[in-house]
Amino acid sequence: MSAQVLLETRGLDIRFGGVVAADQVDVEIHEGRNLAIIGPNGAGKTTFLNICTGYTKPNAGSVHFCGREITRRSPRQITRLGVARAFQMPQLFAEHSALENLLIAASARDRRWAPFTRLGDVPERDEMMHLLELVDCAHVAERAVNELPEGQRKLIDIAIALALKPKLLLMDEPTSGVASSEKFGVMDILTRALAEAKVTSVFVEHDMGIVEKYADEVAVWASGAVQLRGTPAEILEHPDVIRDVIGEEV
């Protein structure tokens, strides 16, 4: 447990109207330990990711990434520091092909502003083709992303985040919208890609089977705060979790 702290939040607090989405949230995310966030809908899981990436500003509290305060920075600035994000609803460039989506991401990462180089000719092309192979989407590289099935769209969304070579990847329900028979396949592909890229990941997940198999640590969210934290074995056998979280899933 002595791994270096990548991201740390202290006393995060935010409410929307009467709903408490974050209430004194203190979380540490350690390098190399994949953290699963579980909990009922409306517990503030997505809000937590939004705050960590600067999309939502907290009323109080702070977020530090690699020792640097990022609390009120924009998603753009936080992304440039090495935090990438994948979304529950894939955020893709609908009029571009899968490969072009990744090439745009790679050009953004390398600040490739040259106005007369074709997107298809940028030097990152081979690297991005390899990334598409990693997420098992190389065969649809030239297809427009809005024609692809949801499972592939989610993988491409994650591949875009990986293309940025982040230190930390935050994923909001990577397997939602994926047929349950394919969930483990998708996660196998993902863990392989994450391991190769040496990225630490945080993922919000509802499927306890996935959590058990792929997380190093689990945090249980309820009413805008972390109620429990531990290894998957500890958490998934905890009576409160069985009653409140797993019970709901069944």
Partner 1 sequence: MNAQLFALAMFDGIAYAALVFMVAVGLTLIFGVLRILNVAHGSFYAIGAYTAASIGGAIFAAGFSPWLAFPLLFVAAALVGILLGGPIERLLLRRIYAKEDALQLLVTFAVFMILEDVQRLVWGVQPYFEATALQQLGNLEVLGVFYTKYQLIFLPIVAVIVLIGLRLFLRRTLSGKLILAVTEDRETATAMGIDADKVYLLTFIVGAALAGFGGALASATTSVVPGMGADMIVLSFAVVATAGLGQIEGAAVTALLIGLGRSFAVYLMPELEVLIPYLIMLLVLLVRPEGLFGAVRTRKI
Partner 2 sequence: MSLRLAVPLILLALVALLPTIAPWSQVVLTIALAKGLAVLGIVVLLHAGQVSFGHALFFAVSAYIAAFLGKAFAGGELITMILLGTLASLAVGLLVGLFVVRYRHIFFGMLNLAVSMIFFSILEKFYHVTGGSDGMQVARPSVLGVPMERAGFETLLFYGALVLCIAVAWGVHRYLESPIGHMLKTIKTNETRLEYLGVSARRTLLVGYLVSAGLCGLGGVLMAVTQGIVTPEYAWWIRSGELVFIAILGGSGSVAGAFVGALVYEVVRTYAAAFAADIWQMVLGFFLLGIILYASSGLVGLYGKLMDRLEGKHKTPAGGAKQSMEPAQ
Using rule CB under 8 A, residue 101 touches partner 1: no
Binding partner at 45 among partner 2, partner 1, none, C-beta below 5 to 8 Å by kind: none
Output 62 or 88, the one with its CB closest to partner 1. 88
Binding partner at 129 among partner 2, partner 1, none, C-beta below 5 to 8 Å by kind: none
Output 14 or 128, the one with its CB closest to partner 1. 14
**How many Cα neighbours within 13 Å face the side chain of 224?**
16
Residue ranges in contact with partner 2 by CB under 8 A? 53, 74-77, 79-80, 84-85, 91-96, 100, 103-105, 107-109, 112-119, 122, 144, 147, 160-161, 164
Using rule CB under 8 A, residue 62 touches partner 1: no
- Torsion sign over Cα 21, 156, 106, 116: negative
CB of 38 to partner 2, least distance (A): 24
Using rule CB under 8 A, residue 93 touches partner 1: no
H or E element that contains 194: helix 183-197
Closest Cα partner for 78 from 169, 159, 13?
169
CB of 93 to partner 2, least distance (A): 5
Using rule CB under 8 A, residue 87 touches partner 1: yes
Judged by DSSP in three states, 74 sits in coil
H or E element that contains 157: helix 150-163
Residue whose tokens read 């899968």: 98
**Percent helix, strand and coil across the chain, each to the nearest 5:** 40, 25, 35
Residue ranges that bind partner 1, judged by CB under 8 A = 46, 50, 55-56, 87-89, 91
